[in-house]
Amino acid sequence: MRLNRRTFLGSMTAFGASVAFPVLGQESLTDMFSRNSVLRSADPTGNTAAAAALIATNEPILSYDTLYNLQLAISQYEPFVAAGGWEEVPQRAFKLNLGKSDPAVVQLKRRLISSGDMPLVEFANDMFDADTDRAVRAFQARHGLVVNGWIDEATWYALNVPAATRLQQLYLNYTRVQQMAPQLTERYVVVNIPAATIEAVGGSMVEQRHTAVVGRADRATPILASKIHQINFNPYWHVPKSLVRRDLTKYMLENPNYLAEQNIFIYDGSGNTISPATIDWANITDSQVNYMYRQEPGAENSMGHCKINFYNKHDVYLHDTPSKALFGENARFHSSGCVRVEGVNELVTWLLRDNGDWDRGRVDQTFSSLERLDVSVKGQVPIHTTYITAWANKQGTVSFRDDVYDFDEQGKITFEG
């Protein structure tokens, strides 16, 4: 029988915590099979695909379906937390992966069984076998981590978040979703900041999902509700004054050719070009900060090939980026408040659905042409930037994310846009 949260928590409640945890067997798999045998029997690629399937349902994070699923998750976690939760995974488990043998694997297996990521077994041996690899990848997918099967730093820390903390996240996020669900329309975009992901929703189903890069803690992406009203193709980027003082001055002191390499030009209030060599970057004046610093369209443009505008007082927007490698990271909190979108051409095509002949081919061609073009979005699409650190889907998969802005710690339920 494969363990799920309901059966495991039921056994916890009926028989106590001790019976649910397997113990080290008298005859381990390492006595029967070699490391090479374990490696041959495993299917890491298939395990990664199975992990992805656990979270790939079409319910939006913001929806009444999620509200119902969260309620079920809470009912399952409550008795488990009351019974003592799960045990910690020791630090010696760090960097373990498929084929390794170590006593810490026993505790790792107990932890993965307790959260329903691994089947319940009669005996847990100390071999990191194919089942353990599959379970670790499932755990990583549920927590928004790079799915690699390794007990890397991010995975080890996520494993050791107490069950009581996870239950508190479920409570908080149930209330957050409950408050926001009535605001939702037929078609909308959600930026979930803790997950650093974007959902394009239509007809109560997720039609597109995108990996994102959002604001770091000291330059947070604001939480708001607005409407997407315009696409700027191949835009200029006007460097915000705050970034001129905080970032450009530092970069220019390190590399006097930085502006030229980034195709950034400086203009005064009359539109005259200013030479970077005339500015003392170590002692830049307020009037020089107030110059216009404009990056031309092209491969190095910080907004990539497009900017997606929505009404807000914070001067933030969605945009493309030349820094594609950031999308592959665990913690995608690098921006100064704006949101970078992976696969932005697909999202732009979705947003311009009602604009006539703006199919994917035309969007891609406009990107590559470097033509400056602004297109108004017909039927302006609602957008919600929000803060959901726990949710569940119809398969019973419960996902968690880190409390990157400490809003869970503060117990925040409502946010001002």
Please list the active-site residues: 319, 338
Which of 57, 55, 53, 76 lies closest to 170, judged by CA?
Answer: 76
What letter would DSSP give residue 389? -
Q: In whole angstroms, what is the distance from residue 381 CA to residue 261 CA?
A: 36
Strand order in the sheet with 273-274: 237-238, 292-295, 264-267, 273-274
Task: Please tell me the total number of residues recorded for the chain in this structure.
Answer: 417
Q: 264 near 321, Cβ under 8 Å? A: no
What 8-state DSSP symbol labels residue 60? -
Under a CB-based contact definition with an 8 Å cutoff, are residues 308 and 348 in contact? yes
Nearest alpha-carbon partner for 392 in 34, 63, 97? 63
CA atoms within 13 A on the CB side of 100: 18
Q: Which residues contact 126 (CB under 8 A, 6 or more apart)?
A: 24, 28, 30, 101, 102, 103, 104, 105, 106
Determine the Cα–Cα distance for residues 398 and 390; give it in Å rounded to an integer: 7
> What is the number of alpha carbons within 13 Å of residue 156 lying toward its C-beta?
15
